[in-house]
Structure 1
């Protein structure tokens, strides 16, 4: 699956070092459990979306704007992103050791570490510190990337950089997308800057609203188009003109749900950047997310994605 090499997507938000443990037996809290396989790789909503978008488009067509820093953990992430064809603009590139504004975990790294358990039924459990209180702002390099891209996706982490990215994208005429995987108070104020807000069932649950009212909430808050995902159930979207559509994802056997929502958002951003109408972009995102969950591997699925037609 590949698009034009000049089509550009910029993803702004969280990158983590994911420590993925795959387990076939229930984990015993307070005890010891055995894993069947371990992976160390780049994770986080924005990073996973960037990896997916690069697979849909082409290596080098996607830039990730995030805070990574330096050190052993950051080295793993940098190598993985490069192997996936993602260009990194590091908001923390100039930092040294110690701590700055609570962002650092030591040794010059701004990188959170996430612990991810993938269970035998494909469900995942993730523990991560996130980056909602980050004070990193856009660099000149990041602004240049946004000025020349077709679409910008933000995930609500690194709030100062995320809001600035939306404003820069609007000024440059790029399409803007929001990964609303959960409710983040500061993100609610960004919705007037968002073309497509893609929310999850968890977002709706946190608001205490049903699907239709969640779409209403997003539209009334200012976005142009509101979209709601719900696992294998139909993806619903509605725009401010009252047009409504539902897309049913392909039926697959889910064996690994880690990063499935991120894959959906990355593919959706790629589709929007390619100029697809929203029904076609959502259909593409559904196919990509279905491919992701049908593979018990954090990176092995990308080869099958690349082999898919158009």
Structure 2
């Protein structure tokens, strides 16, 4: 990633209280299983990506909703402690969003109850229009309403702000925002859903100049960048434009994969917003994701810039 003044990132997304359970294996139907460990963490894909970007040196504004309850106040205080602008995180009369996460030796499963996150509407987004228009990049996911995500993307496009979409989970937000996205970050399952939506003639159409990034866990990621540069990227480094690049990840011991995708998305957005090209941004992002899997919980696992700089030697060893 290139060095520059602090990039400005606007995040429109979810804020959840995460209860994480470590289990010996996936339970069978009708089976009651005892967890080995339980912990509460601050989470939500939007909040996670906001924290990821802030810890990597970005100036971040968060737009979303929490409940007027203890968990909502806990989530907000965590973002404020990270230096994130929370003026547009509204408190509503709906319980704060909740995620129940089970971690077994082979994988992670997550059940999300949207709660207050579903209350974010176009009015809430329009209230933050100035912050979105003044950002270097906008980060969007699939855990807020279609109308809110689309409204934010439209504001960003009008002002040539980089629109980064991480369609997770893959739902109705994707077809509404994909035509406006400059950068789309998907994992293997989401990549297959994206392919199926194209095969079926869905309205989920990518722009011809989009940068498509597929994360592949321990194998790193693949960056597919058109030779046609989107207007919002024309002042950026051309490194990686017009190429399909495999970017390996450092080989690390996995403690908990929760939050690794958010670490990647936040880091990629920071890289691009700082002036890096897709290839350099991807190299930066795979290091952030690799760091995250070594720490339990979503937000506790998101690295600081100093930690990633110390990770450089490990990353270099993983490259061919």
Confirm or deny that 1:237 pairs with 2:227.
no
* Aligned position for 2:210: 224
Instruction: Provide the aligned C-alpha RMSD in A.
Output: 3.1
Give the alignment partner of residue 117 of structure 1, picking from 88, 91, 102: 102
Give the alignment partner of residue 200 of structure 1, picking from 177, 183, 187: 187
* Length-normalised TM-score, structure 2: 0.79
C-alpha separation between the residues in 2 aligned to 1:40 and 1:76? 10
Cα displacement string for residues 178-237 of structure 1 (whole angstroms, at most 9, x for unaligned residues) = 00234323422322211111111111333565xxx9xxx987555621121121224112
- Give the 3 Å change call, closer, same or farther, for CA 133–140 of structure 1 in structure 2: closer
* Aligned position for 1:108: none
Confirm or deny that 1:181 pairs with 2:165.
no
Give the alignment partner of residue 127 of structure 1, picking from 105, 111, 116: 111
Unmatched runs of 5 consecutive residues or more in structure 2: 228-241, 313-320
Paired residue secondary structure (2:32): coil
C-alpha separation between the residues in 2 aligned to 1:162 and 1:298? 22
* Aligned position for 2:7: 7
Cα displacement string for residues 35-80 of structure 1 (whole angstroms, at most 9, x for unaligned residues) = 3241232x1111111111111115xx11111111421110111122
Q: How many residues align?
A: 290
Paired residue secondary structure (1:180): coil
Cα displacement string for residues 219-268 of structure 1 (whole angstroms, at most 9, x for unaligned residues) = 75556211211212241122232532121111111111001111111111
| 1:282 positional shift | 0.7
Contact 1:197 1:218 in 2 (8 A): no
* Aligned position for 2:78: 80
| 1:134 positional shift | 5.0
Q: Counterparts in 2 of 1:245-284, with a 5 A limit?
A: 245-284=245-284
- Give the 3 Å change call, closer, same or farther, for CA 300–262 of structure 1 in structure 2: closer
Contact 1:8 1:149 in 2 (8 A): yes
* Aligned position for 1:22: 22
Moved more, 291-300 or 75-84: 291-300
C-alpha separation between the residues in 2 aligned to 1:125 and 1:67? 24
